[in-house]
């Protein structure tokens, strides 16, 4: 799974990683959260549209988890069972960070970790690579496109997100931080080396 604050470059790296795995005959499955199922894509539109306005923090967290449950049970579990490598953009860690660590404190990160275990069952991600970028680098990459509902929460929120990912890396043994401040090629080289070490 690829994770990180907005503008960290995970979509670009996920695409590159899938091509690289494809060339090596691994036929990876590329998915994104929220999304990659009919219900997940509908929830994505709802969750990211600025017109949706404010949601109760717990409703927002549960809607991200509803999209995730559809994806894990209907898409990821069958693919992994069939022996495929799954590359996902985002994971339960985004909910722990965005709605937990960076939220208003009303949704506990521990409770979200427990919910992740319930939703994933035997299909928790093997590895979560967090592309870690400095605030200015992420903001600069982000500024090239229109902000979604969650991106409009401002710089202080983005700082809590970044700190949240770093804190999660200390607490969750599945998480690995990758310095993503460099060029696309530099980040790619570091990421691919880590993946190669994991899957051979
Ligand atoms: N969210 C949540 O709150 N809770 C949850 O549980 C989940 C999600 C699952 C949608 O996520 C929002 O949902 C997100 C978190 C929240 N919103 N916020 N805030 P998303 O993953 O779909 O959207 P995103 O985070 O905004 O990602 P993105 O738009 O796909 O950006 P990215 O994947 O991080 O970056 P990119 O598209 O690969 O690159 C952005 C630009 O930078 C592009 O022009 C690239 O060419 C450029 N780029 C990328 N890497 C580099 C390097 N290394 N050098 C130079 N330029 C680069």
For the chain, what are the domain ranges? 2-199
pLDDT of residue 27: 94
Q: Among 68, 102, 150, which residue has the most ligand 1 atoms within 8 Å of its CB, making it the best to mutate?
A: 150
CA 114, CA 165: separation in Å to the nearest integer? 17
CA 130, CA 109: separation in Å to the nearest integer? 17
The CATH T-level fold of domain 2-199 is Rossmann fold (3.40.50)
Token duo for residue 24: 């090596």
Token duo for residue 33: 């959260």
* Averaged pLDDT for residues 21-50: 97
Q: Residue 11 pLDDT more than 70?
A: yes
Whole-structure pTM value: 0.96
| Ligand 1 center–CA 138 separation, angstroms | 9
| Ligand 1 center–CA 103 separation, angstroms | 19
- Are 178 and 3 a contacting pair, CB within 8 Å? no
Token duo for residue 199: 């899957």
Question: What is the average pLDDT score of the chain?
Answer: 95
In the chain, pLDDT over 70 holds for what percent of residues? 99
Torsion of the alpha carbons at 139, 140, 146 and 149, rounded to the nearest 10: -10
| Ligand 1 center–CA 89 separation, angstroms | 9
Ligand 1 neighbourhood includes 150 CB (under 6 angstroms): yes
| Ligand 1 center–CA 95 separation, angstroms | 15
**Residue listed under structure tokens 């090596």:** 24
Name the residue among 73, 137, 125 with its Cα closest to residue 94: 125
Per DSSP, the three-state class of 33 is coil
* pLDDT band, very low/low/confident/very high, at 100 (cuts 50, 70, 90): very high
| Plot region of 7 (φ>0 → left; ψ -120 to 50 → alpha; else → beta) | left
Ligand 1 neighbourhood includes 128 CB (under 6 angstroms): no
Sheet holding 2-3, edge to edge: 29-32, 86-89, 2-3, 128-132, 175-179
Q: Residue 122 pLDDT more than 70?
A: yes
* pLDDT band, very low/low/confident/very high, at 96 (cuts 50, 70, 90): very high
CA 156, CA 166: separation in Å to the nearest integer? 16
| Ligand 1 center–CA 12 separation, angstroms | 9
pLDDT of residue 125: 96
Tens-place pLDDT, residues 124-170: 999 999 999 998 898 888 876 788 999 889 889 999 999 999 999 99
């Amino acid at each position: 799974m690829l994770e990180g604050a907005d503008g960290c470059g995970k979509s670009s790296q996920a695409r590159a990683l899938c091509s690289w795995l494809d060339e090596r005959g691994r036929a990876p499955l590329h998915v994104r959260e929220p999304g990659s199922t009919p219900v997940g894509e509908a929830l994505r539109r709802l969750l990211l549209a600025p017109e949706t306005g404010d949601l109760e923090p717990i409703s927002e967290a549960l809607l991200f988890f509803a999209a995730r449950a559809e994806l894990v049970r209907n898409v990821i579990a069958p693919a992994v069972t069939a022996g495929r490598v799954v590359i996902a953009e985002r994971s339960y860690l985004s909910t722990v960070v965005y709605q937990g660590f960076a939220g208003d404190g009303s949704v506990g990160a521990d409770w979200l970790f427990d919910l992740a275990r319930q939703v994933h069952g035997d299909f928790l991600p093997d590895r979560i690579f967090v592309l870690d970028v400095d605030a200015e680098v992420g903001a600069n990459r982000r500024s090239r496109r229109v902000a979604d509902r969650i991106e409009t929460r401002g710089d202080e929120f983005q700082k809590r997100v970044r700190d949240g990912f770093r804190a999660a890396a200390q607490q969750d043994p599945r998480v690995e931080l990758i310095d993503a401040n460099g060029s696309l090629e530099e980040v790619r080289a570091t990421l691919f080396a880590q993946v190669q070490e994991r899957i051979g």
